[in-house]
Amino acid sequence: MKPADFPKLPLIVKPFILSLFLSLSLLAFLSLQTPRHTLKKDPSPDLKIRPGYSSYDAYIQRQLNKTLNPKLRQIWTTRDWNRKVHVFSGFFDSLKQRKLLFNESKALCIGARVGQEVAALKRVGVNDSVGIDLVPYPPLVMKGDFHHQPFDNETFDFEFSNVFDHALYPKKFVGEIERTLKPNGICVLHVTLSRRADKYSANDLYNVKSLIELFKQSEVVKVRSVDGFGLDTEVVFRKNKK
Ligand SMILES: *[C@@H]1O[C@H](CO)[C@@H](O)[C@H](O)[C@H]1NC(C)=O
Ligand SMILES: *[C@@H]1O[C@H](CO)[C@@H](O)[C@H](O)[C@H]1NC(C)=O
Ligand SMILES: *[C@@H]1O[C@H](CO)[C@@H](O)[C@H](O)[C@H]1NC(C)=O
Ligand SMILES: *[C@@H]1O[C@H](CO)[C@@H](O)[C@H](O)[C@H]1NC(C)=O
């Protein structure tokens, strides 16, 4: 290399450095933008909101379509009834034995459809129990949207749900549970981690940690495997004392 070539080098290199700098800035900009966008849509990487709902009303209409399906309602109230009430009674009995549920508990079942869970609670002696769903089924289930529970703060000792996957806004779903639970109240969720839930699901949960992170005022009491109508994991939370 001739010494005379040296001064020319920076002239050739400059545009490269400039374009390298520009593309790196662009990359840095994009990498900052992408997670922000994802965070806005999905509460965490292991909890994905299903796309495709154009509005809250479209989402509610879709949920109603399952809840109101006459064939399903017929099955839920007849063929399904005894088997499900029996299995739910087993879950609730086990919670009573672990001192997480009592006859005196004021209990709520969220997304209770025709109220099989509520009937099971009453069967094991938890008389002050009610369910909510978009469509009421009196006297066991009253009308209520789990994103906006129709109850005052600190109403319940115990809340149960197996419809977490139907929540379009999981943070709101959990926020409403924590709002309406009394201090020290218990929340029990049955969720699926290993299997994609049905076509009416609004989110997919891949890791129980992502569920736990949504609870801001509660501690995890227990995570265990269950066999609950396609749901494989039971997570028990206790809301903090005041
Ligand atoms: C509800 O579901 C039925 C059967 O899948 C379908 O024919 C109907 O168009 C749906 N209605 C709405 C409002 O989504
Ligand atoms: C709770 O209720 C059940 C069913 O009515 C009854 O068998 C049981 O003795 C009650 N337990 C307590 C501790 O009162
Ligand atoms: C709960 O209801 C059952 C059946 O109606 C009744 O036998 C029991 O005494 C009730 N328990 C309480 C604590 O009210
Ligand atoms: C109920 O709880 C919510 C959320 O914790 C809080 O923002 C609100 O002020 C409470 N309302 C009453 C009437 O205490």
- Residue 200 forms beta bridges with which residues? none
Question: What are the structure tokens assigned to 150, written together?
Answer: 């129709």
Q: What mean pLDDT do residues 195-217 have?
A: 91
Name the residue with the closest Cα to ligand 1, atom 10.
65
Nearest to 231 by CA among 141, 164, 134, 131: 164
DSSP 109-146: EET-TTTHHHHHHHHTT--SEEEEESS-BTTTEEE-BT
Is 50's pLDDT higher than 50? yes
Predicted local confidence at residue 195, as pLDDT:
75
**CB contact at 8 A, 115 and 132:** no
Full-model pTM: 0.83
Q: What is the CATH number of the domain that holds 54?
A: 3.40.50.150
Judge if 61 and 158 occupy the same domain: yes
Judge if 125 and 198 occupy the same domain: yes
Judge if 90 and 25 occupy the same domain: no
Question: What are the structure tokens assigned to 125, written together?
Answer: 């002696």
Q: Which phi and psi (to 5°) does residue 111 adopt?
A: 75, 50
Judge if 101 and 24 occupy the same domain: no
CA of 239 to the centre of ligand 4 (A): 15
Name the residue with the closest Cα to ligand 2, atom 4.
125
User: Is 112 a member of any domain?
Assistant: yes
**CB contact at 8 A, 220 and 237:** yes
User: Is 40 a member of any domain?
Assistant: no
Predicted local confidence at residue 42, as pLDDT:
75
Judge if 7 and 51 occupy the same domain: no
- Structural domain count, the chain: 2
Judge if 105 and 207 occupy the same domain: yes
Work out the angle at residue 237's Cα, subtended by the Cα atoms of residues 138 and 173, and round it to the nearest 5 degrees. Answer: 55
Predicted local confidence at residue 141, as pLDDT:
98
Judge if 29 and 138 occupy the same domain: no
User: Is 13 a member of any domain?
Assistant: yes
Ligand 3 atom nearest to CA at 125 = 1
Does the Cβ of 65 fall within 6 Å of ligand 1? yes
User: Is 169 a member of any domain?
Assistant: yes
Q: What mean pLDDT do residues 191-211 have?
A: 89
What Rg, from alpha-carbon coordinates, does the chain have? 25
Judge if 7 and 103 occupy the same domain: no
Question: What are the structure tokens assigned to 51, written together?
Answer: 């796309």
Nearest to 191 by CA among 166, 159, 214, 217: 166
User: Is 114 a member of any domain?
Assistant: yes
Judge if 19 and 103 occupy the same domain: no
- Residue 152's domain spans which residues? 47-239
Count the residues in the chain: 242
User: Is 217 a member of any domain?
Assistant: yes
77-107 b/e with 16+ CB inside 10 Å = b?
eeebeeebbebbbebbeebbeeebbeeebbb
Judge if 22 and 135 occupy the same domain: no
CA of 125 to the centre of ligand 2 (A): 5
Judge if 60 and 29 occupy the same domain: no
In tens, the pLDDT along 141-185 reads 999 999 999 999 999 999 999 999 999 999 999 999 999 999 999
Name the residue with the closest Cα to ligand 1, atom 5.
65
> What is the identity of the amino acid at 193?
L
| Mean pLDDT, all residues of the chain | 88
- Residue 205 forms beta bridges with which residues? 47
**CB contact at 8 A, 186 and 203:** no
In tens, the pLDDT along 69-98 reads 999 999 999 999 999 999 999 999 999 999
User: Is 42 a member of any domain?
Assistant: no
User: Is 98 a member of any domain?
Assistant: yes
Judge if 115 and 157 occupy the same domain: yes
Map residue 192 onto helix, strand or coil: coil
In tens, the pLDDT along 21-39 reads 566 565 555 455 444 333 3
**CB contact at 8 A, 113 and 67:** yes
